[in-house]
Amino acid sequence: MAKLDLSRAVWRKSSASSGNGACVEVAFAAERVAVRDSKNPTGPIVVLPARSLTALLASLA
């Protein structure tokens, strides 16, 4: 799989976020979703198919 260029990604977090830096952020790009820890934005990023995130969120609802 080709490396996903996230240099221009728009990272989003929940509007319910308390602002303490302990949040999950997501960015959407080319049918994939990148997920990172907001308190470590230069740290590891998990990239998965968007449908996988959708399935995960549906299972938690």
Going from N- to C-terminal start, the domains of the chain cover 24-60
pLDDT of residue 16: 81
Whose tokens are 């996903």? That residue is 4
Q: Can you read off the two tokens belonging to residue 38? A: 């907001």
pTM of the model: 0.80
What's the first-to-final CA gap in the chain, in angstroms? Answer: 31
- Give the pLDDT of residue 48: 92
Place of tokens 């998965």: 48
pLDDT tens digit sequence for 40-58? 999 999 999 999 988 988 9
DSSP calls for the chain = -PPP--TT---B--TT--SSS--EEEEEETTEEEEEETT-TTS--EEEEHHHHHHHHHHH-
